[in-house]
Amino acid sequence: MILIIRGRGIARGVGTGDLVVSPAPISFLAGVAPDTGIIIEKGHPLFGQAIGGKVFAFPYGKGSTVGSYVLYALSRTGHAPAAIINSEAEPIIATGAIMGRIPMIDRIDVPLHRLKNGTRVTVDGDRGELEYNGDLADL
């Protein structure tokens, strides 16, 4: 069953991929390797996981404004997420998503922790929607 979950569009475009859901915020500066898209932040719950081509859902970004440029670098190296979902967008991640042309939404109608890793989803940053290919029981 396909569910449409409403949110707020942040960065334009449409991206599809398997969900990678983080319970913790992340810093893209020193938290994600720009040449591989692998999470390298020590102690992060997703340490060692690749986010390239995935829809990356995490509460919010943290850290330096250089994180915006890391997202841009990820898009240039082909290791950027297909899309980003945040609980609450903040300027560092929003700017990086816009510069890197990574579709992004926030404030969705479902708490992030209810989203199931590996579920195939589509993020529409123009409409502020998440197309979730799952079951109501998943949420």
Is 64 assigned a catalytic role?
yes
Q: What is the mean pLDDT of the chain?
A: 95
Compute the distance between CA of residue 13 and CA of residue 98 in angstroms, rounded to an integer.
10
Residue 18 belongs to domain with CATH number: 3.50.30.10
What's residue 137's pLDDT?
A: 65
Average pLDDT over residues 100-128: 96
Whether pTM > 0.85 for this model: the answer is: yes
- The residue from 22, 64, 75, 87 that is catalytic is 64
Domain encompassing residue 11: 2-138
**pLDDT tens digits, residue range 6-48?**
999 999 999 999 999 999 999 999 999 999 999 999 999 999 9
Beta strands in the chain (DSSP E): 2-6, 8-11, 14-21, 55-58, 83-86, 104-106, 120-124, 129-133
